[in-house]
Structure 1
Amino acid sequence: MDPLTSLLQEVRSCGAVFGRNLLEPPWAVRFADQGALTLVTLLRGEGWIVPEGTTGEERRYGSENRYGGAGGAVPVRLGPGDVAVVTGPEPFSITDDPAAATPPLFVVHPDRCTTADGCDIGEDVILGLRTCGNSEDGPTVLLTASYQATGRVSERLLGGLPRTLLVPHDAPDPVLELAAVETGRDAPGQQAVLDRLLDLLLLSTLREWFARPEACPPGWYRALGDPVAGRALRLIHARPERAWTVDALAAEAGVSRATLARRFTALVGRPPMAYLTEWRLTLAADLLARTDATVASIARQVGYRTPFALSAALKRVHDTRPVELRAATGGAPTADKPSTRA
Structure 2
Amino acid sequence: MDMLAQLLDRVRLGGTLLFHFELGHPWHLELPARPYALFHYISRGSATLALEQRQDMQLTEGDLVVITRGEPHVFYSDRRAKPLRIIDIDRASSRFGVIRHGSRAKPHATMICGNFTISRPLFGNVLELLPPVLLLKPTTDGGWLEAILRRMVSESALERPGQRVALSRLTEVLFVEVLRSWISSLSPGQGGWLGAISDPHIGPALKLIHESPERPWTLSDLGRRVGLGRSAFSARFTKLVGQSVQRYVIERRMAEAAFLLETSDEPIARIASRVGYETAAAFSKLFHRHNGESPGRYRAARRADGTHAQLDGSEMQVSD
| TM-score bracket relative to the smaller structure | 0.7 to 0.9
Q: Aligned equivalents of 1:295 and 1:260: distance in 2?
A: 36
Structure with larger RCO (C-alpha < 8 A, sep 6+)? 2
> Which residue of structure 1 lines up, in the alignment, with residue 217 of structure 2?
245
Q: Indicate if the aligned counterparts of 2:186 and 2:195 stay in contact, CA closer than 8 A.
A: no
Alignment of 1:213-292 (within 5 A): 217-240=190-213, 242-246=214-218, 247-285=220-258, 288=261, 290-291=262-263
Q: Aligned equivalents of 1:292 and 1:89: distance in 2?
A: 32
> Which residue of structure 1 lines up, in the alignment, with residue 21 of structure 2?
21
> Which residue of structure 1 lines up, in the alignment, with residue 314 of structure 2?
none
Counterpart of 1:93 (choices 74, 77, 95) is 74
Q: Aligned equivalents of 2:153 and 2:47: distance in 1?
A: 17
- The reply to whether residue 103 of structure 1 matches residue 73 of structure 2 is no
Amino acid at match of 1:133: R
- Change over 3 Å in CA distance of 1:27–1:305 after alignment to 2: farther
Alignment of 1:2-151 (within 5 A): 2-10=2-10, 12-32=12-32, 34-51=34-51, 54=52, 72-97=53-78, 99-100=79-80, 102-104=82-84, 106-109=85-88, 111=90, 130-134=97-101, 137-150=106-119, 151=121
Farther off after superposition, 138-147 or 196-205:
196-205
- Change over 3 Å in CA distance of 1:214–1:232 after alignment to 2: closer
- Change over 3 Å in CA distance of 1:44–1:318 after alignment to 2: same
- The reply to whether residue 152 of structure 1 matches residue 125 of structure 2 is no
Q: Percent identity?
A: 28
Deviations along 1:175-226, whole A, 9 cap, x unmatched? 21112123345344x5453333223323333333344479972332342232
Q: Indicate if the aligned counterparts of 1:44 and 1:81 stay in contact, CA closer than 8 A.
A: yes
Amino acid at match of 1:87: T
Length-normalised TM-score, structure 1 = 0.71
- How many residues align? The count is 294
Q: Aligned equivalents of 1:95 and 1:216: distance in 2?
A: 34
Amino acid at match of 1:22: E
- Change over 3 Å in CA distance of 1:232–1:185 after alignment to 2: farther
> Which residue of structure 1 lines up, in the alignment, with residue 130 of structure 2?
161
RMSD: 3.5
Amino acid at match of 1:157: V
Q: Aligned equivalents of 2:189 and 2:81: distance in 1?
A: 31
> Which residue of structure 1 lines up, in the alignment, with residue 288 of structure 2?
315
Q: Indicate if the aligned counterparts of 2:17 and 2:112 stay in contact, CA closer than 8 A.
A: no
How far the C-alpha of 1:24 sits from its partner, in A, is 1.4
> Which residue of structure 2 lines up, in the alignment, with residue 340 of structure 1?
none
**SS in structure 2 opposite 1:30?**
strand
Deviations along 1:249-304, whole A, 9 cap, x unmatched? 3454344555533432332233323211112213434554x546455264455444
**SS in structure 2 opposite 1:332?**
helix
Q: Indicate if the aligned counterparts of 2:36 and 2:117 stay in contact, CA closer than 8 A.
A: yes
Amino acid at match of 1:186: R
Gap regions ≥5 residues in structure 1: 55-71, 114-119, 334-342
> Which residue of structure 2 lines up, in the alignment, with residue 339 of structure 1?
none
Alignment of 1:314-333 (within 5 A): 314-326=287-299, 330-332=301-303
Gap regions ≥5 residues in structure 2: 305-320
Q: Aligned equivalents of 2:302 and 2:192: distance in 1?
A: 31
Instruction: Flag the structure with higher strand content.
Output: 2
Q: Aligned equivalents of 1:88 and 1:310: distance in 2?
A: 32
